Amino acid sequence: MRPWFFPIAVVASVIFAFTASAAAQKTSGSAGEKKYQYVQANRFDLQQGVDLPPDYLLTIDEDLIKELGKIKGMKQVLREGEPLPQGEPVLLVTGTITKYKKGNQATRYLVGFGAGSTVIDAHFKCYDAATKELLLESDVDGKVIMGLMGGKSEGANNGLAKEIAKDIKKKFF
């Protein structure tokens, strides 16, 4: 009976250590992810040579604020210039629109298969507002490929905002 005791004890110890280590990693990972409950979304800049209609830029800002507000665990999304909460870590989101292709609703409707698509590409960065440490940097795009009656080109704004929010949610929440 004694020859079986030692191998069983070793196997049980290894399983216990592995389970405890995995639980500790999961706990520490979720604590880091929930650090930022406040986000400040700054207005996106336009890269030189990009001819984006001014109302699109405004819509991108509004759509981004709306999409960030949908993230579970987000307490508040602040606009550029609003006072930051005292003593709370704040994630600062900045970006640059790097490409705009107007597209054509009629072509999307009549031809389909991606013809006439509207595309907005952006490069965005997330910083800790207090330390200015770069935490996330990514290239994203918003597209309108199809939709009811070819889809409205303005839908690319919302698609861009959703992609940014998805990346932020994946990294921080």
User: How far apart, in whole angstroms, are the C-alpha atoms of residue 39 and residue 129?
Assistant: 9
User: How far apart, in whole angstroms, are the C-alpha atoms of residue 73 and residue 169?
Assistant: 10
Q: What is the pLDDT of residue 63?
A: 94
Structural domain that includes position 146: 37-172
Q: Is residue 15 one of the residues assigned to a domain? A: no
The domain that contains 112 carries what CATH number? 3.40.50
Q: Is residue 30 one of the residues assigned to a domain? A: no
CA 104 to centroid of chain Cα atoms: 28
Q: What is the pLDDT of residue 34?
A: 61
Q: Is residue 3 one of the residues assigned to a domain? A: no
Q: What is the pLDDT of residues 39-88, one digit of tens each?
A: 999 999 999 999 988 888 889 999 999 999 999 999 999 999 999 999 99
Q: Is residue 6 one of the residues assigned to a domain? A: no
The CA-CA-CA angle for residues 51, 120, 80, to 5°, reads 85
Q: How many domains does the chain have?
A: 1
Q: Is residue 91 one of the residues assigned to a domain? A: yes
In angstroms, the Cα distances linking 165 to 52, 68, 71, 131 are 21, 5, 8, 22
Q: b vs e for 73-88, b when ≥16 Cβ sit within 10 Å of the residue's Cβ?
A: ebeebbeeeeeeeeee
Q: Is residue 119 one of the residues assigned to a domain? A: yes
pTM of the model: 0.72
Q: What is the mean pLDDT of residues 17-31?
A: 44
In angstroms, the Cα distances linking 169 to 25, 71, 87, 141 are 19, 7, 22, 16
Q: What is the pLDDT of residues 99-146, one digit of tens each?
A: 998 866 555 445 544 555 778 999 999 999 999 999 999 999 886 544
Q: Is residue 106 one of the residues assigned to a domain? A: yes
Q: What is the pLDDT of residue 55?
A: 87
Q: Is residue 99 one of the residues assigned to a domain? A: yes
